[in-house]
């Protein structure tokens, strides 16, 4: 088995979640790498959409921003942010990848501040399109390292809605029925959300880790699937594609 790093296994796992013919709204970095890998493996007809307006491009290499000219290369449409957000709100986008400084047990994300909003310890860029993507895309996925600082009992600021307070609270808020957080992919495990409570639960453990490792690196109690799966390690071909064709300059996967 080839050696791989934390970023590479997260990208490979995320790519496997994207089925052929689906639509996915991505940003740059790891989500883009995952979408590109999916296109080169199991989902050649995956429709990639960028927030700045690139729809179904043929990406020649890793773009450095959502407005990079490469996100429009041989695209089906060179649209605008308005076109992308309209597509989301009309229910045309299956998946989105989001992230943040904090995530709680219901998949709510904070990318605004750490500490009190009026006098924060740290201020982040804020929502951008994340609130819209999380509100209207059918399945939200998150790729993030596993640690206690990110996985917190309560986010300091709710930038992006997950399952809100759990249960049926998201549906009661008026957001589209059937939309919401889907999978959380970390360097240790894969999590989904228990159907009734909407609490985060571990469903698969990556090679070299245990449920105890995952729990010790989380700031709240995780649920546990009745049968935990073992996450398959990245294949030699997945790693070759990542390292040689998708991110040869190691912008995302690192040295």
Report which of 127, 186, 202 is spatially closest to residue 161, judged by C-alpha positions. 127
- Which run of H or of E encompasses 77? strand 77-78
The C-alpha atoms of residue 192 and residue 27 are separated, in whole angstroms, by: 21
- 244: helix, coil or strand? helix
The C-alpha atoms of residue 115 and residue 104 are separated, in whole angstroms, by: 15
Reply yes or no on whether 51 is catalytic: yes
DSSP state of 155: -
Instruction: Please work out, in degrees rounded to the nearest 5, the angle formed at the alpha carbon of residue 143 by the alpha carbons of 138 and 149.
Output: 120
> How far from 106 is each of 140, 184, 195, CA to CA, in Å?
12, 11, 11
Contact 185/34 with Cβ under 8 angstroms? no
Strands (E), 117-247: 120-123, 139-143, 180-185, 189-193, 200-205, 223-230
The C-alpha atoms of residue 139 and residue 96 are separated, in whole angstroms, by: 6
One of 51, 61, 153, 244 is an active-site residue; which one?
Answer: 51
Which residues form the catalytic set? 51
């Amino acid at each position: 088995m080839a050696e791989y790093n934390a970023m590479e296994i997260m990208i490979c796992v995320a790519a496997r979640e994207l089925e052929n013919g689906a639509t996915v709204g991505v940003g740059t970095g790891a989500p883009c790498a995952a979408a590109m890998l999916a296109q080169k493996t199991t989902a050649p007809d995956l429709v990639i959409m960028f927030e700045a307006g690139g729809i179904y491009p043929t990406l020649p290499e890793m773009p450095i921003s959502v407005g990079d000219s490469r996100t429009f290369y041989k695209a089906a449409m060179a649209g605008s942010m308005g076109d992308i957000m309209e597509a989301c709100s009309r229910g045309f986008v299956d998946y989105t990848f989001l992230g943040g400084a904090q995530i709680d047990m219901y998949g709510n994300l904070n990318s605004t501040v750490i500490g009190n909003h009026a006098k924060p310890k740290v201020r982040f860029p804020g929502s951008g399109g994340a609130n819209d993507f999380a509100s209207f895309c059918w399945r939200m996925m998150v790729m993030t390292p596993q640690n206690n600082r990110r996985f917190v009992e309560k986010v300091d600021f709710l930038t992006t809605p997950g399952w809100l307070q759990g249960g049926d609270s998201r549906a009661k808020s008026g957001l589209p029925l059937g939309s919401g957080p889907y999978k959380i992919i970390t360097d240790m495990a894969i999590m989904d959300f228990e159907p009734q409570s909407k609490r985060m639960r571990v469903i698969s453990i990556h090679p070299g880790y245990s449920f105890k490792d995952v729990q010790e690196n989380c700031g709240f109690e995780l649920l546990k699937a009745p049968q935990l799966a073992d996450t398959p390690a990245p294949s030699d071909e997945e790693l070759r594609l990542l390292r040689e064709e998708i991110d040869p300059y190691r912008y995302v996967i690192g040295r």
